[in-house]
Amino acid sequence: MGFLRHVFRWLSLALIALAGAWLLWPARDGEAASARRDGRDAANRAEARHVITLSPGSAYLPGAVPFGVGQPLVGLAAVIRDFEKRFPDTRVEIINVPGVREYIVTQLSSGRAPDIINVNVEDVWTDVQKGWYVPLDAYLEAPNPFIREKGDPTAPGYHQWWDMFKYQAISRGKAAPDGRNYCISFDMVETAIFYNKDIFAKVGVSVPTTWEQWLDDMAKLEAAGYTPLLMSIYAFNDWCVDLIFDQLYYAVLPGIDLLQDPTREKYLEGYLDWDELCFLYRQGFFTPRDPRYAELWRHMRALRKYCNRNLANIDTDREFVTQQGAMYWTACPLTYRLMADKELGFEWGVFYLPRFTTATSEFASETEMCVIGGAGMQYEVTNSAYNDTGDPATSEKLERVIALLQFMTVPEHYERIVNEYPCFLPNVVGVPVLPSLEPFEAILERRYTTTKWIFTFDLRFSEIQQRMLELYLNDGIALDAFLEWQEANLEAATQNLLARKNVDMARLEREWDRRAPLRADTRGLPYD
Amino acid sequence: MTRPRPALIGHRARFTLSCYGLLLVPLALLTLFVYVPVMWAFTKSLFQFEVGGASRFIGLDNYVEFITRDPTTIPSFLNMLFLTLFAVCTRLSIPLILAKLIHALASERARYFYRVLFLIPVLVPGVAVQLIWAGMIYRDRGMLNEALRAVGLDTLVTGWLSDPSTALVAVAFVGFPFVGGFEVLIYYAGLSSIPQSVTEAAAIEGCVGLQKFFRIDIPMVLSQLKLILILTIIGGVQGFQGIFIMTRGGPGFKTTVPGLWMYFNAFSFQRMGYACAIGVCLFAVIFGLTILNMRYFKSTEELVGRR
């Protein structure tokens, strides 16, 4: 018995030691495995002259299974393999960077960010003065060498890379307020209301054409025991604020849209930039004295009544596919989730939000709802891309990083990436839209929003707005108190912005005076 | 016969010198990795310092803003106070009662079994626990709401983490029924170390049951209670990850704590100097509470020593 115990003890120790050794053994990383697949050995790859790190975003991440349904993605990996064959001295590493701004900021500030990252470019605008990003205008205005080498002067991209992009106005409209473009608008995304046709038929409601009809429909759906509309607090704080803002302010834009930038105006017609918002705020707009602004939030609370109880921390996809919610306001990638689900037990469709009428609000512009989507994956080149020389003007690596982006936008390569599954709309001329995404393409033809509140000011502003909005929408604070918070928040954000940027307030003042006649007959202005 | 040559330095002195020498290494590392960053944070708290941007000396402005002008300061400290007090109450009481119950079991095998059973949940990462509570229990159609619906209490159904009136309590209740395995073990060790003679003397004097628990057991585990108290206070003041996962401090600032606001300022708003000032304030709070605890909460040994 004693001997057996002795043996057992030593065996246990040996097992633990083996398990520890196995855990500590260096893992064979993806690149080595990839090298074996390609018939190249890892040592040769390690000698690559340029190592480009690319964070493509979860939509195209090789090996990822979108929504956990279907096959792992392979499109981008295949294109990268072709690129590496074309440039044997270059290796491309795919990095899955979490979409957490805190993480990216720390990486950027230490010069360790991936060479190409995917961030909403409005977030980039706030940091362009720090030298974290490379302006891409010079490259966009030059030919795409991979198109040029084909020798067809009529092909988009032969003269300028810019010409390859299908949604010109949106892509060029992504230029920062300093006039420079820091991102490649790789593809397009659009939102819509996904709805359960079976529930609609059962309850006897139809696709609404006005905001009132929509609210009536939701009341019926709620009475029937469904959650009428699934929405997260992020959708409220981002899309909903901007759409309702546009409905209420569009009619007065001629009198308050003070600056027009010819390079951006084609898409951003009437867009209120941060300097304009700062100036208008100083004129009393967006304060408790502005009746349109107060009404904006009231309409949101009226809508919130019909939404899921928990606005944060809720799996809205799941609520929709399990038919607990009748409608779901989200972006086009959900299309794939619904199409790929073999067990989805209902018919679904999409429609866009209906417009306000004068029955909704005396300030309703009676115009159709504008677009809230636009560029989906927005690829920026970071300061890490020229860490070989430290100078973008002399960096060979930067040239190669740009070449990778140019290579990815060649139509035959691009299609393999973007049309691998229905997720985003292609933004390269000559690449077809997948049929299931055509409704979103139609929505994207609409006019763009008047402003994007949470991307205009600093992140502190956005965070506080979201928190207080959630509190207000959940009846935790009255409208007056919410507006006071917003005013204080906007005051701090305005001061911060004016301190950081050179805003020509005198010019805005002159434009304001010049446009006084256009405001003469407008009701409900804050200084009335 | 030769007498051994007297050593230049005695054995005792050599040993002491060796101890000092060996302590120098961890001390140097501690200085490098803890004290220097702390001093750096304190220095930076006097600057307007944005990540990746220039920094400008502003004296105590960050402190003045945090203490007098930041609208989140008072609510976040009140939230922190509530959560810390709640944690102190639950972690000082329930695990102690459980430890006492286990200790009172006659069978050693049963005691061992229960100790293991209560310790197993400690192996589940805190993040997983918080995600379970947020995703399964507090959801719109989660266990709590479905249970309320099942018993006909539909009127009580709510978005527990979204509702401003329930969010903070909902956060506090994560971990219910608060049977902390770690605390149970600590208290159990304390109860096991009570000398047999004390227990027997108490029995002879007729001190049994609840009377023994309050008059003998609790005074004898004061050292353990003090340890748990300090750890709970430090955790309560510093901790924010659970709140970050479940509510991000919302709705509004209903569940925000200063640590979370510090995090947002540092890494989201890039106001690193301001975040450092919040950190220094939190350090001061923890330091003050620990001093008070050390001064006024006497352990068993200190009480015995005083007598």
From first to last of its 528 residues, chain A has per-residue pLDDT tens of 678 888 888 888 888 888 888 877 765 544 444 444 444 444 455 578 899 999 998 899 999 999 888 889 999 999 999 999 999 999 999 988 876 777 888 888 888 899 999 988 777 877 777 889 999 999 999 999 999 999 999 999 999 999 999 988 888 878 777 788 999 999 999 999 999 999 999 999 999 999 999 999 999 999 999 999 999 999 999 999 999 999 999 999 999 988 876 665 566 677 888 889 999 999 999 999 999 999 999 999 999 999 998 887 678 998 999 999 999 999 999 999 999 988 899 999 999 999 999 999 999 999 999 988 888 999 999 999 999 999 999 999 999 999 999 999 999 999 999 999 999 999 999 999 999 999 999 998 888 888 888 888 888 898 999 999 999 999 999 999 999 999 999 999 998 888 777 778 899 999 999 999 999 888 889 875
Contacts of B163 in chain A (CB under 8 A): 309, 474, 476
Q: Render pLDDT for B141-184 as a digit per residue (tens, 0 to 9).
A: 788 988 999 999 988 888 888 889 999 999 999 988 888 889 99
Question: What are the sequence ranges of the domains in chain B?
Answer: 62-306
Contacts of A463 in chain B (CB under 8 A): 264, 268-269
Supply the pLDDT for residue B75: 94
A467/B249 Cβ within 8 A: yes
Question: In terms of Cα–Cα distance, which of A368, A292, A378 is closest to A104?
Answer: A378
Question: Which of B270, B271, B272, B278 to mutate to test binding with chain A, by most A CBs within 10 Å of its CB?
Answer: B270
Rounded average pLDDT over B278-283: 94
Q: What is the number of CB-based contacts under 8 A between chain A and chain B?
A: 107
For residues A92, A97, A103, A109, the Cα torsion angle rounded to the nearest 10 degrees is 20
Q: Do domains A37-164+378-423 and A191-374+446-519 have the same CATH topology?
A: yes
What token pair was written down for A276?
Answer: 């304009």
B158/A309 Cβ within 8 A: yes
What token pair was written down for B60?
Answer: 């105590």
Contacts of A458 in chain B (CB under 8 A): 269
Chain A residue closest in CA terms to B162: A310
B164/A477 Cβ within 8 A: yes
Q: Across all residues in chain B, what is the average pLDDT?
A: 88
Q: What is the CATH number of domain A191-374+446-519?
A: 3.40.190.10
Supply the pLDDT for residue A36: 44
**What is the least distance, in Å, from the CA of A245 to any CA of chain B?**
22
Supply the pLDDT for residue A28: 54
CA B246 – CA B249 distance, rounded (Å): 8
Question: Which of A470, A487, A489, A491 to mutate to test binding with chain B, by most B CBs within 10 Å of its CB?
Answer: A470
**What is the least distance, in Å, from the CA of A273 to any CA of chain B?**
20
pLDDT greater than 80 at residue B298: no
B163/A309 Cβ within 8 A: yes
**What is the least distance, in Å, from the CA of B236 to any CA of chain A?**
22
Task: Measure CB to CB from residue B52 to each of A102, A130, A485 and give the nearest one.
Answer: A130
Question: Which of B149, B268, B274, B278 to mutate to test binding with chain A, by most A CBs within 10 Å of its CB?
Answer: B268
In 10 A of CB B153, how many CB atoms? 11
Supply the pLDDT for residue B293: 81
B138/A310 Cβ within 8 A: yes
Chain B residue closest in CA terms to A232: B162
CATH ID of B62-306, from 3.10.450.710, 1.10.10.60, 1.10.3720.10, 1.10.940.10: 1.10.3720.10
Supply the pLDDT for residue B126: 85
Chain B residue closest in CA terms to A308: B140
Query: Within an 8 Å CB–CB cutoff, is residue B48 touching chain A?
Result: no
Task: Measure CB to CB from residue B250 to each of A108, A467, A475 and give the nearest one.
Answer: A467
Task: Measure CB to CB from residue B159 to each of A130, A310, A460 and give the nearest one.
Answer: A310
Supply the pLDDT for residue B307: 52
Do A495 and A461 touch, CB atoms closer than 8 A?
A: no
B135/A315 Cβ within 8 A: yes
**What is the least distance, in Å, from the CA of A313 to any CA of chain B?**
7
Chain B residue closest in CA terms to A462: B269
A315/B162 Cβ within 8 A: no
Which percentage of chain A shows pLDDT scores above 70?
A: 94
A471/B250 Cβ within 8 A: yes
A315/B139 Cβ within 8 A: yes
DSSP E strands, A301-438: 325-331, 348-351, 374-375, 378-381, 425-426
The SS3 assignment for A468 reads helix
B164/A310 Cβ within 8 A: no
Question: In terms of Cα–Cα distance, which of B162, B219, B53 is closest to A469?
Answer: B162
Supply the pLDDT for residue A260: 76
Alpha helices in B162-299 (DSSP H): 167-172, 181-192, 196-204, 209-212, 218-220, 222-238, 241-246, 258-263, 272-296
Contacts of B247 in chain A (CB under 8 A): 312-313
Question: In terms of Cα–Cα distance, which of A256, A251, A262 is closest to A286?
Answer: A256
Question: Which of A112, A226, A458, A474 to mutate to test binding with chain B, by most B CBs within 10 Å of its CB?
Answer: A474
Supply the pLDDT for residue A294: 95
Query: Within an 8 Å CB–CB cutoff, is residue B248 touching chain A?
Result: yes
CA A90 – CA A45 distance, rounded (Å): 8
Task: Measure CB to CB from residue B251 to each of A459, A474, A488 and give the nearest one.
Answer: A474
What token pair was written down for A302?
Answer: 């009226």
What are the φ and ψ backbone dihedral angles of A211, each rounded to 5 degrees? -60, -40
CA A450 – CA A371 distance, rounded (Å): 10
**What is the least distance, in Å, from the CA of B202 to any CA of chain A?**
42
B161/A315 Cβ within 8 A: no
Interface predicted TM-score (ipTM) over 0.90:
no
Chain B residue closest in CA terms to A324: B141
Q: Which CATH superfamily is domain A37-164+378-423 in?
A: Periplasmic binding protein-like II (3.40.190.10)
The SS3 assignment for A348 reads strand
